[in-house]
Amino acid sequence: MANTENHLKSLLGTLCGQFQHKKLEVNWPKTKVLKMGPGSSTIIQWDILEIDGRLLGTIEETNIYKYLGVKLGRSSLISHHMRGTLTNTLRKVGLIKAMARSAPDRRRVADVLWRQWAKPAILYATEVLPLPTTWIQRIERQQNKMARWILGTSPQASSAGAHGELGWHSIKGEIMKRKLVYYGKILRMDDSRWPRQVMLETIDRNSSTTWRKNIHNALQELGQQGITCPGKNWAKQVKMQWKRWEQAQWRSAVSHDQRLQCYPKARISKKANYLTWGYTLSGFTKMRLGDLPDDQVCKLCSQHISSQTQHILIDCPILDPARTPLYKAFLKESDDENTTSTDKMKAVLGFEELHHVRSVNRLYTLWARTWEEANKSGAQKTQ
């Protein structure tokens, strides 16, 4: 990096000298200059001359320059990179869906591709970039859509429940963790290192940069009192605080979502067991997430409904022939005078044995088919 035009020419001369010493040649067409700051609106060409005046090559100025995978712009430093990342996110979501549809286990393939391929690429360099909240929220929405697609739920299904089923963490939390881990590395750097010099200069000038605000907000969110040692244990402390923060945020979201009153899972850290079996059990998932229509009267038996989940699993007489003896035995064992209906539903939906999960999935499938037929016949009568 150069501060003035003459300084840049001096650096380019040093570069040419080193290349000639090593018997190498500079690829001039691929070498670009990106100016930032006052007086950078005028675009010019830079002629690199030998000592005897012979032209070695010409360097053109550019409005956008890609450095280590990040697109930097002349006027808005990282806006090009953020727009490109959003576009690539949509493209990756489409590719994951296309590849997973033809796989024997759609859920597993899509889950692995998102966690190990798409998400790391999307979050590349987020630890060093000053990111606005709106960009993070847009990426978060794409992750929520991906989670619902993997689970086979409706677009209105609870994102907190979907994250709980898959064991996914939020985009916001991942970015905060990455920034604080990198911040700890800068704190341990020698004063001669360029990243540390930049940070010390912003502190000396009392510059309120977006990146410093991101670091301050991350420390406040994750709990600054839990991250105290800028030594080798810094990253470990950050990750511990991040896991606690993710768990607290997820529990808060679950407790405030009416659809998740019967959700049985208590932690977000691991994927639900039934998702690893390789079976398509989207009905069981929808029951756990409360992804059901909000009807006041059952269209199968015409009874009034207080809880759609409880009505399908226990109360609806039309579905009683589909309840297996093992399923009924489990319901009888879980029935207790001191057990509330919500606790009972959590026990029914939290028992992840294959025969039981298939029984619940079968009940949902039968109910959904009959419900759709009732809707169609009702629409025909109206016409």
Residue 336's identity, in one-letter code, is D
Beta carbons of 170 and 249 less than 8 angstroms apart: yes
Q: For every one of its 383 residues, what pLDDT tens digit does the chain have, with 9 covering 90 and above?
A: 677 777 777 777 777 777 778 888 777 777 777 777 655 556 667 676 665 566 667 777 777 777 777 877 766 677 888 888 999 999 999 999 999 998 888 889 999 999 999 999 999 999 988 888 999 999 999 999 999 999 999 999 999 999 999 999 999 999 999 999 988 888 888 888 878 887 777 777 777 778 888 888 888 888 866 566 666 788 888 899 999 999 999 999 999 998 898 888 888 878 888 888 777 788 899 999 988 887 778 878 888 888 888 888 888 888 888 888 888 888 887 777 677 888 888 888 888 888 888 888 888 888 888 888 777 776 555 55
Residue 361's identity, in one-letter code, is N
* Helices and strands per DSSP (H, E), number in the chain: 15, 5
Q: Kindly report whether the global pTM for this prediction surpasses the value 0.95.
A: no
Tokens of 363: 């009940």
- In order, the DSSP letters of 149-160 are HHHT--TTS-HH
Taking the domains of the chain in order of start, what are their residue ranges? 5-62, 72-168, 176-255, 295-382
Name the nearest CA neighbour of 131 among 81, 168, 89. 81
Q: How far apart are CA 344 and CA 333, in angstroms?
A: 10
Name the nearest CA neighbour of 287 among 277, 297, 302, 272. 272
Residues 6+ apart with CB under 8 A from 199: 186
Q: How far apart are CA 173 and CA 143, in angstroms?
A: 13
